[in-house]
């Protein structure tokens, strides 16, 4: 299965994180930063020295942070990336999690995925129940004034955009 980080990049990332002060400092129980405060009772030995879970087989595209040298041992497989939203997610994971573009691209991918889901439903003959799915019934029942205001503002914005796009130029 295709990985989205090549082995050379994995090696470079591993070399980079070794140079970060404090990286992995708690990996060695003899160098535990909580030592003076934590009272050892012997029961935590098993927590520290546990057998790691086997690596879950990678049979779908799995995106992971470029800050990490590899994927986690287990991961979700119920909704693998697909379509345009999958391509957008793939692009998002090429940038650092420290960048706003990473997160905003993921938000965009979520929005595109919603549209893809509606199109998929319509293709399968299922018409989405927007009133129930968007919570309009509850809004109407418990927050009517704000709901009506929100709908009115959206209608005015749509009318203004339509008017601006269909205006005749002199």
Quote the DSSP letter at residue 72. Answer: -
- pLDDT tops 60 at residue 101: yes
Distance CA 121, CA 107 (A): 21
Structure token digits, residue 70? 């590899």
Q: Please, where are the H alpha helices in 19-126? A: 44-48, 83-92, 100-123
Least confident segment among 2-6, 66-70, 72-76, 164-168: 2-6
The sign of the CA dihedral 132, 136, 141, 143 is positive
Report field, pTM of the whole predicted structure over 0.85? no
Q: Which of 6-10, 49-53, 146-150 has the highest mean pLDDT?
A: 146-150
CB contact at 8 A, 13 and 68? yes
Q: What mean pLDDT is predicted for residues 21-42?
A: 64
Torsion of CA 30, 36, 38, 42, to 10 degrees: 50
Distance CA 105, CA 149 (A): 30
- Binning pLDDT at 50, 70 and 90, where does residue 84 land? very high
- pLDDT tops 70 at residue 6: no
Q: How many helices (H) and strands (E) does the chain have?
A: 7, 0
Q: Show me where the domains of the chain are located.
A: 1-80, 82-126, 129-170
CB contact at 8 A, 69 and 12? no
Which pLDDT score is estimated for 30? 65
């Amino acid at each position: 299965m295709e990985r989205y980080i090549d082995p050379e990049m994995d090696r470079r990332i591993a070399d980079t994180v070794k140079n970060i002060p404090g990286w992995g400092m708690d990996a060695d129980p003899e160098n535990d930063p909580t030592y003076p405060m934590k009272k050892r009772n012997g029961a935590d030995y098993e927590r520290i020295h546990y057998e790691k879970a086997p690596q879950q087989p990678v049979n779908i595209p799995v995106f992971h942070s470029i800050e990490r040298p590899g994927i986690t041992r287990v991961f979700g497989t119920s909704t693998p990336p697909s379509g345009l939203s999958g391509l957008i997610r793939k692009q998002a994971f090429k940038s650092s999690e420290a960048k706003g573009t990473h997160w905003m691209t993921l938000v965009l991918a979520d929005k595109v995925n919603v549209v893809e889901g509606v199109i998929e439903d319509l293709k399968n003959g299922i018409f989405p129940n927007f009133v129930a799915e968007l919570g309009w019934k509850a809004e109407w029942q418990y927050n009517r004034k704000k709901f009506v205001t929100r709908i009115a503002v959206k209608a005015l914005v749509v009318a203004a955009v339509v008017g601006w796009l269909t205006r005749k130029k002199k």
